[in-house]
Each structure stands twice: as structure tokens, then as C-alpha cells.
Structure 1
Amino acid sequence: MANDYSKRIAETIEANKEKYIDHLLKLVSIDTHDIGHGIEGGLEGNGQRYLEEVFREMNADEIVEDPLTEEAIQKCAKYNEGNTGHNYDDRFNVYATIKGKSDKSILFNGHIDHMPADNLES
């Protein structure tokens, strides 16, 4: 059974590789850089909105924008994650649910922001 799934996945990737590459090229061309190491804000919203478009194209059952807030970041900070005191305007996480044919699930997690290419100090 696992071999059958692997074969189907490989066939799907091969049949759609140009579309997948096109999406990837579009995503990496979007400016999502942090401003002032994120303290002054960031342009992540540009990339997140593109991912929402991709999820709609994939007929996602649900797409959720989860805004970053100081309160949410403070909850993460107690686990030594997140950075408090930043500008969170137009900065949010995106979650999409695409229901499959079984009760199993898979999670993809990514990081959309980056430091400016000309910032060699980071």
C-alpha cells in the first residue's frame, strides 16, 4: 500500500511540476523582509496573501488569518520563543485546512519573513 501511495505522489509531482515551480518562483519573488530586525515591522503580509491565493486555488476548506499580537507573542516568550515589543501591523500567520479522504493529517510549517539581502550585519 505504501508503495502505491509513493507512486501516486511521484506521478502527481511529475504531472504538476511546472505549476509547482511557478508557485515557488512567485513566492520567493515577493518581498517579505523584516524591517529593523522585525522591531519596526515587516512585509510578511505580502507573502501570506499569496499563500492564501494558492490555498484558494487548491480549494481549501478553510483559510484563517491569525494576526500577530503582543499578547500572543508574550505567551510564546515564556518558552523562549517570539520577540515582544515589535510592530505587528500587516503581520499574521495563515492556516489552511484541506480535507482528505481519511482521518490522517499532515502539517506543513514554514517561515515567510527574511532579512533584507543587503543587510550583511544580521
Structure 2
Amino acid sequence: MEKIRLRDIADALGLSVATVSNVLNGKDSKVSPATRIRVLEAVEGSGYLPERAEVLLGRNPSRMVGLVVNDHPEYSGHPLEDPYNARFISFLQRAAVRHGLELLVKTARTWEEAAQFASIWNMAG
């Protein structure tokens, strides 16, 4: 299978590589919502992997598990300081270590942020 490049996606959509790259990196303030959706759908359907994901995937199975914590406005930008969240994350961390896993934690306000986090890292769960 041939590696999908950013250029391939851009060409297929009739866009510049810079536009596609900006959308994937969240720098899409000058891109229409319709273009943003087209890019994300094309990337999802293409099998494209950013270079950092390719390096992490390698040939070894992942020992990473991910947790996305909702950065709801009620947390005032500090969701990991919430006592419930902190206790839950601490519990998960200890469980991950017992099973030989690494826990990656990400705060996110949108489903798109959570999906991007999950798609970049090769997580076991």
C-alpha cells in the first residue's frame, strides 16, 4: 500500500497543502466550515497518518491508553484539579502501571479535539 501524503489529499480536494495542513493542525480560522469538513472527511477516509503517528506505530504494539477529560467551562480551564477527576485519573494511572501500560491524558472542549488526540497516538485503548 502506498503512503498517503498531504499533497495527495490537497490535490484530490483542489486545495493547497498549506490549507490541508492548517486544518489538521487546528489553524483553520481563515478556512470556511465547509472546506474544513471536506478536509477532515477526506483525511479520515484516506488512511493518512501524520509523520509522528507513523513513527509511534512502528512494528511494536502500543502500551499506551488514553483518557480525554472534558474541559467544561465549569472547571475554569483546570479540569485536572477537580477532586473527582484527580482521584479518577490517579486510580487509572495505578491500574495502567499494574498492567504495564502508559496513560496519556488530554483535556478537550470538543469532540474534534478528542478525536484528533485519539487519531494521532497508537493507543491500546
Task: Decide: shared fold, TM above 0.5.
Answer: no
Q: TM-score, normalised by structure 1?
A: 0.28
Task: Return the structure number with greater helix share.
Answer: 2
Q: TM-score, normalised by structure 2?
A: 0.28
